[in-house]
């Protein structure tokens, strides 16, 4: 047996940024736990198809400098917070000061607040399943702590733009924690983008704690460049009657990994998870989702669609776990995949693990190609072959894009997807 590769110790070097004491202590403690951590290999079940894309060279260990720049220009107006290499840029940010809603960067927390946060960080994620996201807990240099008091409602979506500036090689660790109080309501848009052309890694963790009746909508756009490996984790815990809605849109890259873990802990909790992934060239994208039905009477509905072109590789792994007492659970999972080229690969594994009998669970998965009859139909009506294929491919995922509840985001995504299909089919 060849010994599994280990995380290079250079990834665990002390970070330069000053944070409130409790967070520094947490970071140190998490770092110690990662010493000699084995890196995932082909034999690691949840990295089976992706470990070969993971390249954690020593040069990536260096924390990317946060230059305090003004940040990227935003395409959309509205509340926004800008992160540059994992550190917030207050000058570029504009967010409301509303009663009952506190939005703070980690660096600005007082000791009591920091202590409270340190106790909460990581509590929505199963750390065994998100091995590499644990690196974030050891390395984050700043973050955003959002608290909503009972009945607080944020009237507009909050955009969080995380720019990875890869002017030099290195890594960045953006971090977000949202604590949504009883019957509060918030829509969050996370957007991950890249500037600079050196190789880099961005490792993100976003957590949501939803109290009774809280409603959170999370939209996540992974738009990083082809020089950036993206490893992200999102965790959500839901109490009674809370509702979590997630829309993720991902474009491929050298390594793209997103773990989404939702725990339905109170009766009546509900989650809706939608995901769209498109990959081309030699790109990669790996979505892993877990829905834990811990309490009875919960609903979950999950729909993911992947399109892989050229020699790219898209992966979906969805797991629904119904705990022994979670009677009257309702869970639905659907994963449809479109393979546009024979060089491309799609791997999918929709899993069910059920320990209660009075449940309704179903999952479905398909892999296929564009329907020749449909193409013929369009061509016979005077639409070009390429255009027809682009149109049909767009139609395959547009149903999910249409569900994105924030209009400007939806339009941005549609424009980017159209561009993607234009590129894909023009080369073909």
Residues lying near another protein in the complex (CB under 8 A): 45, 49, 324, 327, 337, 339-369
Nearer to another protein, 17 or 349 (CB): 349
Residue 213, classified by CB atoms within 10 Å of its CB into exposed (0-12), middle (13-18) or buried (19+), is buried
- Residue 348: CB minimum distance to another protein, A: 5
Nearer to another protein, 102 or 327 (CB): 327
Count of other CB atoms within 10 angstroms of residue 407: 10
Nearer to another protein, 11 or 304 (CB): 304
Tokens standing for 246? Answer: 């997630």
Q: Which residues pair with 368 in a beta bridge?
A: 338
Nearer to another protein, 7 or 309 (CB): 309
- Residue 357: CB minimum distance to another protein, A: 4
Euclidean distance between CA atoms 23 and 107, whole angstroms: 9
For residue 365, what are the contacts with CB-CB under 8 A and spacing of at least 6? 316, 334, 335, 336, 337, 348, 350
- Residue 362: CB minimum distance to another protein, A: 5
> Contact at 8 Å (CB) between 361 and 328?
no
Nearer to another protein, 172 or 322 (CB): 322
- Residue 368: CB minimum distance to another protein, A: 5
Nearer to another protein, 39 or 365 (CB): 365
- Residue 340: CB minimum distance to another protein, A: 6
CA 395 centroid distance within chain: 23
Count of other CB atoms within 10 angstroms of residue 128: 8
- Residue 285: CB minimum distance to another protein, A: 15
Q: Which residues pair with 350 in a beta bridge?
A: 318
Q: Are strands 299-308 and 215-222 parallel, antiparallel or unpaired?
A: unpaired
Euclidean distance between CA atoms 403 and 258, whole angstroms: 20
């Amino acid at each position: 047996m060849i010994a599994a590769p280990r995380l290079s110790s250079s990834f665990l070097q002390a970070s330069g940024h000053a944070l409130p004491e409790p967070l520094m202590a947490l970071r140190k403690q998490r770092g110690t736990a990662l010493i000699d951590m084995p890196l995932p290999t082909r034999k690691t079940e949840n990295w089976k198809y992706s470990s070969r894309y993971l390249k954690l060279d020593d040069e990536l260990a260096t924390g990317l400098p946060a230059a305090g720049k003004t940040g990227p220009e935003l395409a959309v107006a509205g509340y926004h917070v800008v992160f540059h290499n994992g550190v917030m840029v207050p000058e570029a940010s504009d967010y409301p000061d509303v009663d009952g809603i506190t939005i703070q960067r980690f660096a600005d927390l007082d000791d009591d607040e920091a202590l409270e946060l340190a106790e909460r960080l990581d509590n929505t994620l199963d750390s065994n399943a998100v091995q590499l996201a644990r690196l974030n807990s050891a390395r984050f240099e700043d973050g955003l702590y959002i608290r909503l008091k009972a009945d607080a409602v944020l009237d507009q979506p909050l955009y969080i733009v995380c720019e990875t500036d890869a002017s030099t090689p290195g890594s960045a660790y953006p971090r977000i924690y949202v604590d949504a109080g009883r019957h509060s309501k918030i829509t969050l848009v996370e957007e991950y983008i890249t500037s600079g052309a050196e190789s880099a890694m961005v490792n993100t963790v976003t957590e949501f704690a939803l109290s009774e009746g809280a409603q959170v909508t999370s939209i996540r756009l992974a738009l990083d460049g082809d020089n950036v490996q993206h490893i992200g984790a999102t965790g959500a815990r839901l109490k009674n009657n809370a509702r979590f809605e997630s829309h993720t849109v991902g474009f491929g890259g050298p390594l793209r990994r997103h773990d989404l873990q939702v725990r339905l802990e109170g009766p009546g909790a509900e989650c809706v998870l939608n995901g769209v992934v498109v990959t081309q060239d030699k790109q990669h994208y790996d979505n892993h989702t877990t829905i834990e039905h811990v309490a009875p009477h919960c609903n979950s509905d999950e729909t993911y669609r992947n399109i892989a072109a050229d020699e790219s590789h898209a992966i979906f792994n969805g797991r629904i776990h119904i705990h022994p007492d979670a009677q009257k659970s309702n869970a639905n999972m659907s994963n449809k995949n479109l393979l546009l080229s024979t060089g491309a690969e799609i791997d999918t594994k929709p899993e069910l693990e059920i320990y209660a009998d009075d449940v309704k669970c179903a999952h479905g998965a398909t892999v296929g190609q564009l329907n020749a009859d449909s193409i013929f139909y369009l061509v016979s009506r005077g639409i070009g072959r390429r255009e027809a294929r682009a149109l049909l491919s767009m139609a395959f995922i547009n149903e999910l894009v249409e569900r994105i509840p924030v209009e400007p985001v939806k339009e941005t995504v549609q424009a980017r997807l159209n561009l993607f299909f234009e590129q894909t089919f023009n080369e073909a």
